[in-house]
Structure 1
């Protein structure tokens, strides 16, 4: 059975400012813009889904008080009136209740701030990531980029865990990555574990209508430049959020994939270069 092709629309749901050096070893100390990229995925039978949510007005609500306010101060966020994903999908004739599922790369605030806007969607995610989000304290959460106030109270009942889905071999074009979790049971959307950035960090492989594979890599790399040059963030960054050794192994695998020069489109979540494909609202 040939997996279904999905219509994929890359969106930008806000951005933040942060020194480039925090995301790229040897980068500039000056603040640069990090877009929060998401994607609307139109599956031919399952309907509309989202890859992450980016920023949303909910982010500002939960960071009004301390210690959560520190998160907003260290990564100042810009979010235009029409940039939240819940508003952008209206261009496709959709409302928040039409979204059948949100595929969550990980639970950092800039990836899940829009979850409250999609109260009926299934939540495809890592059990390990959701468990950490539930048990983390407020101060530790801010240090690790987690804002539990963004998590819907019924998240567990709506969750479809990557760890529980059937494993499938990935297309050879994605080597050295070998297996993925079949989210819908038809091979069209395969969650790929990309460890190191934080607990429960996964990517997503999907094939577009042009037959090209997209690999959404979340924060396994903050830019295509980092992948091409196999250039990780400084150890201080990766150790603060996750595990440096595992992050660097994952980045090396992405570098090997890119170096083969195949047809796979790699999409880091905060890459300004990748944002060139964003559909402007």
Structure 2
């Protein structure tokens, strides 16, 4: 099984907003998404990162335009999804599955590019999204214009997946492909329905923990950012228990990876992860 992560864009933030006790210096954060070549499921994407659809698309509402103007993501053209797929001899039509770890714009903005894919996501979170008003969804950081019109008909919900029990510091979760190779691990705190992906069978087990925190250093040094970063969390009180689970996993020899940490990992395309 091949696992590679690409950086769709750079976003700058003051260090003290992502690391408690940090300085006001600006830190360039990655916006990762992943590609898994699975022996049974075929080409599988992990989220989609930022795409032009979110940054400059004509269909964007006023709130999404404001969002882009405030965050100012700088798209990384060479690692957008189409060039990434082409490096592996693939097209969007070849992608069988897109795993949607949660519904924020930097994770769903490219879903419409994949007409043949099934979407693995939290069906419970999707049900809550559907009954909220547009304003309530914006409060949760969700821009509904980024979802394909047929998203629900292609949704493969987590609730239907077989559960794998935790084993000591190795967390359990939903078995996405029925072989135990990719496990969706519930990660409450940052966003409604957020889950990470555990790859337990590789030489050093990897847990892609998405947006539990921005920096691995903040996790391991227990420097979770406070106010005003806490305003961005769905359930700020849940972040520390979730972080503690990740620290136990790391202490047991596992590797934790976040979406936005700027430090290259062995799985990153620009660090030789191809």
State TM-score, norm by structure 2.
0.90
Gaps of 5+ in 2: none
Q: Residue 39 of structure 1 corresponds to which residue in structure 2?
A: 34
- The counterpart of 1:265, out of the listed 255, 266, 274, is 255
Shift in Å at residue 140 of structure 1?
A: 4.1
Q: What SS does the aligned partner of 1:67 have?
A: helix
- The counterpart of 1:241, out of the listed 217, 233, 242, is 233
Q: Residue 252 of structure 1 corresponds to which residue in structure 2?
A: 244
Q: What SS does the aligned partner of 1:38 have?
A: strand
Written as runs of structure 1 = structure 2, the 5 A alignment for 1:177-256 is: 177=171, 179-207=172-200, 210-256=202-248
Which moves more between the two structures, 92-101 or 73-82? 73-82
Shift in Å at residue 207 of structure 1?
A: 4.2
- The counterpart of 2:268, out of the listed 266, 274, 278, is 278
State TM-score, norm by structure 1.
0.88
Q: 1:128 to 1:117 in 2, by over 3 A?
A: same
Q: What SS does the aligned partner of 2:239 have?
A: helix
Q: Please report the RMSD computed on the Cα atoms of aligned residues, expressed in angstroms.
A: 2.2
Q: What SS does the aligned partner of 1:192 have?
A: strand
CA distance in 2, matches of 1:119, 1:237: 36
Shift in Å at residue 172 of structure 1?
A: 4.2
Contact conserved, 2:6 with 2:32, CA < 8 A, in 1?
yes
1:131 aligns with 2:133: no
Which moves more between the two structures, 138-147 or 49-58? 138-147
Written as runs of structure 1 = structure 2, the 5 A alignment for 1:1-281 is: 6-60=1-55, 61=57, 65-172=61-168, 174=170, 177=171, 179-207=172-200, 210-260=202-252, 262=253, 264-275=254-265, 277-280=267-270
Q: Deviations over 1:27-66 (max 9, x none)?
A: 2334321111111101112111011111111112168542
Contact conserved, 1:235 with 1:244, CA < 8 A, in 2?
no
Q: How many residues align?
A: 270
